[in-house]
Structure 1
Amino acid sequence: MFNIEVDNSLPKAELYQDLNQQLQALLTGETDLICNAAQFSAFIMQSLPELNWAGFYFARQEELVLGPYVGKVACTRIPFQRGVCGAAARSLTTQRVDDVHAVPDHIACDAASNSELVIPVIVNGELKAVFDIDSPVTHRFTQEDQEGIETLVASFIEASDWNWKA
């Protein structure tokens, strides 16, 4: 059993550095993409406060297909042309939204979500997935959160075998 230890008294930069060390230890010795995506989603949900959804959507042609996640039942497919996840897929840039209700084409899979952070998962220059985190709190994600979670996603990418085929 793996125990996650979170010291919320640390400055955010140090907190994310500590979380990254724990994540690397959790994923050591395992390269299966689906297994690591499931573990990563659970790790994020257990490590960070004020979240109601964390998980992956995998890129399939011009849409995102639901992958491993932790949270309520979710949208199964998201076209690249819609929503915050679609914007991350189209632009290949992280999307940090303080109030999802201000986004005209936001896709509300969970009405309790008020803010969102979506990080594109890019491997060898190719979009493979997006990692999506939702919070019931508006303005939940700061620039420090974004940078910290981007570092965690990079560790997930490095630990995983991207030659996996469904």
Structure 2
Amino acid sequence: MKIFGLEFKFNGFDLWHNGNFDPASKVNKSGDTMEGGLVLPASTADGTPLNIPHGSNPTAPSNGDIWTTTTSIMARINGVTRTMAHTATWSTVSQAEAEAGTATTNRLWSALRVAQAISVRLPTKLSQLENDIGAGAGLSIIPSSTEPTLNTGDWWYQEL
């Protein structure tokens, strides 16, 4: 800013005035909508650039809303309120638990554990499959290298 043809500064900084400041281009502290993205600086040992104090759940959140309570951080996504999971205290399912299939608490599953849970339940021979699909129904699956005598509904699996 020039006054009487001289640069006028305060503590080395330019002064804002109606020639170089447009209040409509600034974000209003009481609430505003930005037309572009907001990039915040990285956190440091002195603090973080964003803080959302704990409050209560809004009665009618809108998509994109994010809030915290004393127990969770939540977000409204596609019409559904989602609680962000803090998985640091979750344990990983063991092979024994995966194969038994009895754990009921929220746990972390690796692809290996899922495969182990499935493979322990897959039949490894035809007699297991017969027990599963024909239990008490009179269905028989007969593995044999030669054609056996079949009853109605029986299946023959030729072993080569």
Above 0.5 in TM-score? no
Query: TM-score of the superposition, structure 1-length normalised?
Result: 0.18
Instruction: Flag the structure with larger Rg.
Output: 2
Which has the larger strand fraction?
1
Which has the larger helix fraction?
1
